[in-house]
Structure 1
Amino acid sequence: MSITRRSLLAAPALLLAGPVAAQPAWPDRPLRFIVPFPPGSTPDTTGRAIAAHFTRALGQPCVVENRAGAGGNIGTGLVAAATDGHVVGLTINGPLSTAKALYPDLSYDPARDLAVASLLVRGAQVLVVHPDVPARDLAGFVAHVRANAGKLSFGSVGSGSGGHLAMADLMARAGLEMVHVPYRGFPQAVLDLVAGRIETMILASAAILPQLREGRARALAVTAERRIPQAPDIPTLAESGFPGAESYAWNALIAPASMPADRVARLAEEAAKALAEPPTRAALEAGGFEVVASGPAEATRFVAAETARWSGLIARLGIRAEA
């Protein structure tokens, strides 16, 4: 039999085999969407908006599971350990960019065990002081802290948290000495700030804007690259003499590293559509967040840069996770 005839006879068999070899539909059962923070938190609100869109767009229920604890490390670790191809998650700075430097016994390696599908949103932080602090700008604040070395205190929501690291970075750049007072959450820290029990802190803009408008705290700078629309009168750190000190609170969409790249890209694409919906976008912007909705490659580069920057600071300053 000639090669040509054999090829012709084989062709129908190849055509029949084609559908068998095709990739199965995905998802083919409900997706678990793990949010490692409590209901009502910003990651939870963002995650639920995305999960609702996934349910509509992917044809399977996407069920949010709140698995809070250890600053987000528990829930993030569950995503990293998942193997069935139907688990995704949403997490923040710490579990992706600083947890490995702060927790030597972390159950997962963010760079090895997780795929970053999208940088979803980012929000500026604000350097604020109690009204009794005699500083109207960052230069005045630096001078006041230097004149009272070791006497002023700053708050955060824990050692190694975003606000703590941002303040530690600024202190290192400016040669400042203050006492760190860690809290379990923003509400108590803000209460102590407006009561004058601590003098200053860096925190997410949404957590302090009401107090700023009421005059119970004073803002000296925002940590973003540009002034924020929610408070356009507050200068940036760069404008105030500290270029390169920018920092953000951010949320990222993640999946296990074993998830195929085309599925990770699809998640990013659908998440961008969810965040573009006017009610969702408006709610996030009102809360002080900027919608980014990047693709996987950009998000992965961003997280790698954040990891290098903040892990280096943690090592250089000897910061430890315990409060």
Structure 2
Amino acid sequence: MKNVILPRRRALILTGGALAAPMLAPMIATGVARAADEWPNKPVKYIVVFPAGGPTDTLSRIVCHELEKLTNQQFIIDNKSGSGGVVGAEAIARSAPDGYTIGLYTIAAHAIAPTLYTKLPFDAGKDFTGIAILWEVPNMLMTRLDFPANTVPEMIALLKANPGKYSFASSGAGTSPQITGEMFKSMAGVNILHVPYRGSAPAHQDILAGQVDMMFDNIPGPLGLMKGGKVKAFAVTSKERHPAAPDVPAMAEFLPGFEITSWGGVCGPAGLPPAMVTRLSELLKQALESAALKEAFDKQGATRRWLNPADTAAYRADNEKRLAPIIKASGAKVE
């Protein structure tokens, strides 16, 4: 092979670059760490993957309010709803990994959707950086006020005697309320029609108007309607009765093994610098420990649940694995 002789100027550039690389690496690392320490130095977009006014949106706004107090920066809520949270989750996955677009980490988009949807525009395990899990919320089964049953056994008997006659609402295809309804159908052996809505608020309106018969939904919404005497509450989906509604039985009292809990947290796109993830995680933990947030969460029926970034990723993966056979057994599928 012939020796390759480089022009002197190019040789000097290449040699200089090789010598500079080891010196630049610490400088780059220092710059990333400084950026994390200074985050945020401008407003942060926070994508909520469900419509405004629903229970998850409310909890997200409470968290963002606490973050604003801790950082003296704006956290601007951007509601991107649709397809059970998939639309908003895709927006998070495609955002720049700079910490200025983060958003809601949910059971629907990140643990249910991978099994429920035949095709997703993202990989729930690879395209996100899980930052923290912040809360768990059971669902509550409510019905219109004039529903002709008053207990879960009476409801199951009624539904079995009238297959296909009654309907259940959800906050959207692929959401936790839908999967909870499908789980109920499968375990109770009943046939009820699924009616998806774009969020909880319009579904609640139709429950009150008698346009749809029943709904599993995150406990804050049904709890308020129940206390206002506007709906009947039949059961909660946590393993045991919920302290916010101690007189409402757990569904597991009638259908052993029936347990499903919605959860929410914060995530960003894949590739967020580890130092920034740590900074975000620590701020979220501080927010979660505030007395104001605890009081607000209690009013919403949400249980605070803190998980660090590593445990957050494992929790999501475990939920996907646990729910997959339930979803498959229900026969539910979204194209």
Structure 1 length as normaliser, TM-score?
0.82
Residue 105 (structure 2) pairs with residue 95 (structure 1) = no
- Match runs of 1:202-241 below 5 Å: 202-238=216-252, 240-241=253-254
TM-aligned CA deviation for residue 31 of structure 1: 6.2
Alignment partner, residue 80 of structure 1: 93
Q: Give the alignment partner of residue 324 of structure 2, picking from 291, 311, 314.
A: 311
C-alpha distance in 1 between matches for 2:271 and 2:24: 27
Q: Residues 79 and 89 of structure 1 are in contact (CA less than 8 Å); yes or no, is this contact kept in structure 2?
A: yes
C-alpha distance in 2 between matches for 1:73 and 1:130: 29
**Matched letter for residue 206 of structure 2:** D
C-alpha distance in 2 between matches for 1:19 and 1:112: 28
Alignment partner, residue 112 of structure 1: 126
Structure 2 length as normaliser, TM-score?
0.79
Change (3 A) 1:229 1:116: same
Q: 3-state SS of the aligned residue for 1:35?
A: strand
Q: 3-state SS of the aligned residue for 2:233?
A: strand
Deviations along 1:158-193, one digit per CA (max 9) or x if unpaired, are: 222211110110111121111222223323322332
- Match runs of 1:165-204 below 5 Å: 165-204=179-218
Q: 3-state SS of the aligned residue for 1:127?
A: strand
Percent identity over the alignment?
Answer: 27
Residue 272 (structure 2) pairs with residue 263 (structure 1) = no
Alignment partner, residue 244 of structure 1: 257
C-alpha distance in 1 between matches for 2:333 and 2:197: 15
Q: Residues 127 and 221 of structure 1 are in contact (CA less than 8 Å); yes or no, is this contact kept in structure 2?
A: yes
TM-aligned CA deviation for residue 82 of structure 1: 3.3
Alignment partner, residue 320 of structure 1: 333
Residue 157 (structure 2) pairs with residue 148 (structure 1) = no
Residue 311 (structure 2) pairs with residue 291 (structure 1) = no
Q: Give the alignment partner of residue 23 of structure 1, picking from 30, 49, 73.
A: 30
Change (3 A) 1:130 1:79: closer
Q: 3-state SS of the aligned residue for 1:132?
A: coil
Number of equivalenced pairs: 305
**Matched letter for residue 270 of structure 1:** L
Q: Residues 157 and 182 of structure 1 are in contact (CA less than 8 Å); yes or no, is this contact kept in structure 2?
A: yes
Q: Gaps spanning 5+ residues in structure 2: where?
A: 1-22
TM-aligned CA deviation for residue 273 of structure 1: 0.9
C-alpha distance in 1 between matches for 2:75 and 2:300: 24
TM-aligned CA deviation for residue 55 of structure 1: 5.4
Q: Residues 142 and 214 of structure 2 are in contact (CA less than 8 Å); yes or no, is this contact kept in structure 1?
A: yes
